[in-house]
Amino acid sequence: MITLANRLTITRMALVLPYALLALNGERLVAGVVFAVAAVTDLLDGHFARVRSEETMLGKVLDPIADKMLTITALIVLVAMDTLHGIHLLAAVIIAMREFWVAGLREGLIDSGAELPVSAMAKVKTTLQLVALFLLTLGDSFIGYTVFWAAALLTLYTGYQYTVDSFKVLNLGADETTSS
């Protein structure tokens, strides 16, 4: 069943390409508006799924994919536009690597039948990333870069925390290497 939350997630996915095309064609303001709409769908889809009791497997699968599509595309676009350059590339790599790392861990959790809830800090991380990427889409700014670095540091922390929690749930660790 395609719920309201699923429609919002699919809308976010559909907005990724127009965002990229607009930004790469120098339409920063319009691209920023498209990005903002996509970001708002990220904030609303989970809320509607919970309050309407419409959490679905489709939503659980599509939501993280849509998040990564938006975030990674924005990083690539901002690098291509030379907004993210120099030392700021390090923050972009941190964010991208964490997204792929956590996606892999999440797949391992799904395969094992386990699930980890999204932490409050991970929600703050996502919000900071979206705000930073929005600001940087509009143009170079001290505030945009500051929020971007705050997001990158929080990305490291939440990635570490998700790794520790995942390893506990999956029972990975030193004792696994002793059994041969």
d(CA 20, CA 16): 6
CATH at residue 12: 1.20.120.1760
Q: Would you say residue 153 has pLDDT above 90? A: yes
pLDDT for the residue 94: 97
Cα–Cα distances (Å) from 138 to 5, 8, 110, 126, 134, in that order, read 28, 24, 37, 19, 7
Number of domains in the chain: 1
3-state percent breakdown (helix, strand, coil) of the chain, nearest 5:
80, 0, 20
Confidence of residue 173 (pLDDT cuts 50, 70, 90): low
19 in a structural domain: yes
**Token pair belonging to 54:** 């419409």
d(CA 151, CA 124): 9
At 80-97, the pLDDT tens digits run 999 999 999 999 999 999
pLDDT for the residue 177: 38
* Amino acid residing at 25: N
d(CA 73, CA 79): 10
Mean pLDDT score of the chain: 91
**Token pair belonging to 99:** 């997204």
At 3-21, the pLDDT tens digits run 999 999 999 999 999 999 9
At 122-148, the pLDDT tens digits run 999 999 999 999 999 999 999 999 999
179 in a structural domain: no
pLDDT for the residue 106: 84
180 in a structural domain: no
Region of 55 (left: φ > 0; alpha: ψ -120 to 50; beta: rest) is: beta
55 in a structural domain: yes
End-to-end CA distance of the chain: give it in Å, rounded: 46
Q: Compute φ and ψ for 109, nearest 5 degrees.
A: -65, -45
DSSP state of 56: -
pLDDT above 90 as % of the chain: 70
Range of the domain at 155: 4-172
Of residues 30 and 53, more confidence is placed in 30
d(CA 51, CA 136): 33
Confidence of residue 179 (pLDDT cuts 50, 70, 90): very low
58 Cβ contact list (under 8 Å, min separation 6)? 2, 6
